[in-house]
């Protein structure tokens, strides 16, 4: 009887652990997607916005600040970059750095797709090969648990 109770307790505990891990995996996946999309689009908007700015050296500082604030790309780009930073730091509060850093490299894949299909640029074969390697790398990293520090005895 005691053995049966002990066994059911173990079963209950392991089920709870599995549920917690599953919830953590979903949370991690959602935060990674938010971080990657905010990073890619934030970079793109900032780059487009800064591309249209005059030279910093040739423009009076108050006017430069006004142009930055009035630029339709810079503020949304900055907000997206702040969301990226917040998502990444939140991920660090429960997931490994060695898991989060390579996973966020998926931003390069999104940037290549944006270049080809949104900006209409011709992405070179070498860059597609890079995208393929990043996808393979992310697939390998995804097969490891996101928090290995919790596994310590």
Instruction: Give the integer Cα–Cα distance in Å for 9 and 34.
Output: 38
As measured in angstroms, the least distance from the Cβ of 108 to another protein is 5
As measured in angstroms, the least distance from the Cβ of 32 to another protein is 14
Task: Give the CA dihedral 130, 52, 45, 85, nearest 10 degrees.
Answer: 90
Q: Does 149 bind another protein (CB under 8 A)?
A: yes
Instruction: Give the integer Cα–Cα distance in Å for 23 and 101.
Output: 21
**Judged by CB under 8 A, which of 3, 58, 143, 153 binds another protein?**
143
Q: Does 138 bind another protein (CB under 8 A)?
A: yes
- Are 141 and 105 in contact by the 8 Å Cβ rule? The answer is no
Instruction: Give the integer Cα–Cα distance in Å for 150 and 18.
Output: 14
Q: Does 101 bind another protein (CB under 8 A)?
A: yes
Q: Does 81 bind another protein (CB under 8 A)?
A: yes
Instruction: Give the integer Cα–Cα distance in Å for 74 and 78.
Output: 6
**Judged by CB under 8 A, which of 47, 62, 75, 76 binds another protein?**
47
Nearer to another protein, 19 or 121 (CB): 121
Instruction: Give the integer Cα–Cα distance in Å for 103 and 16.
Output: 27
Binding site for another protein (CB under 8 A): 39, 42-44, 46-51, 77, 81, 84, 86, 88-90, 92-94, 96-102, 104-105, 107-108, 111-112, 114-115, 119, 121, 124, 126-127, 129-144, 148-149, 151-152
């Amino acid at each position: 009887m005691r053995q049966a109770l002990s066994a059911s307790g173990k079963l209950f505990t392991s089920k709870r652990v599995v549920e917690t891990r599953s919830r953590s995996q979903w949370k991690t996946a959602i935060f990674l997607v938010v971080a990657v999309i905010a990073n890619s689009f934030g970079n793109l908007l900032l780059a487009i916005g800064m591309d249209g700015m005059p030279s910093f050296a040739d423009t009076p500082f108050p006017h430069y600040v006004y142009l930055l604030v009035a630029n339709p790309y810079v503020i949304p780009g900055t907000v997206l970059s702040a969301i990226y930073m917040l998502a990444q730091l939140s991920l660090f509060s429960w997931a490994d750095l060695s898991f989060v850093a390579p996973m966020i490299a998926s931003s390069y894949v999104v940037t290549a797709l944006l270049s080809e299909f949104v900006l209409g640029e011709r992405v070179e074969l070498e860059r597609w090969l890079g995208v393929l390697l990043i996808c393979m790398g992310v697939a390998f990293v995804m097969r490891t648990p996101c928090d290995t520090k919790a596994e310590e005895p």
